[in-house]
Amino acid sequence: MKFFLIAGEASGDQLGAALMAGLKTLDPQAEFVGVGGPAMQAQGLESLFPMDELSVMGLMEVLPKYRALKRRIAQTAAAVTKTAPDALIGIDSPDFCLRVARAARPDNPDLPMIHYVAPSVWAWRPGRAQKMARVIDHVLAILPFEPPYMQAAGMSCDFVGHPVATEQVAGSDQAALFRNVHGIAPDAPLVLCLPGSRRSEVARLGARFDEALIRLRDRVPEIRVALPTVPGVAGMVREMTRRWPTAPIVIEDADEKRAAFAAADLALAASGTVSLELAANRVPMVIGYDMAPLSRLIIGFLLRTDTVTLVNLVSETRSVPEFLGRACQPDPLARALQQVLEDPATRMAQLDAMDLTMERLGRGGEAPGLRAARSVLTAIRERRSR
DSSP class of 165 = G
Q: Could you list the pLDDT tens digit for every one of the 386 residues in the chain?
A: 999 999 998 889 999 999 999 999 999 999 999 999 999 999 999 899 999 888 654 444 455 567 888 899 999 999 999 999 999 999 998 889 999 999 999 999 999 999 999 987 765 666 788 999 999 999 999 999 899 999 999 999 999 999 889 888 999 999 999 999 999 999 999 999 999 888 888 889 988 999 999 999 999 999 999 999 987 788 888 887 877 766 789 999 989 999 999 999 999 999 988 999 999 999 999 999 987 766 666 566 556 677 889 999 999 999 999 999 999 999 999 999 999 999 999 999 999 999 999 999 999 889 999 999 999 999 999 988 87
SS3 state of residue 371 = helix
DSSP 230-291: -HHHHHHHHHHHTT-SS--EEE--HHHHHHHHHH-SEEEEESSTHHHHHHHTT--EEEEE--
Please state at what angle helix 231-241 crosses helix 199-219, rounded to 10 degrees. 50
CA 323 to chain centre: 18
Spatial distance between the Cα atoms of 223 and 321, rounded to a whole number of angstroms: 20
Is residue 17 within 8 Å of 43, Cβ to Cβ?
yes
**Percent of the chain at pLDDT exceeding 70:** 92
Q: What are phi and psi of 288, to 5 degrees?
A: -135, 150
Long-range contacts of 239-247 (CB under 8 A, 24+ apart): 240/202, 240/206, 241/210, 244/210, 245/210, 245/214, 246/210, 246/213, 246/214, 246/217
Other CB atoms within 10 A of residue 266 CB: 23
Cα 186–Cα 191–Cα 192 angle in degrees, nearest 5: 125
CA 74 to chain centre: 25
Q: Do domains 2-165+365-385 and 172-360 have the same CATH topology?
A: yes
Q: Which top CATH class is 2-165+365-385?
A: alpha beta
Per domain, the residue ranges of the chain are 2-165+365-385, 172-360
Q: What are phi and psi of 265, to 5 degrees?
A: -105, -15
Q: What architecture (CATH level 2) is domain 172-360?
A: 3-Layer(aba) Sandwich (3.40)
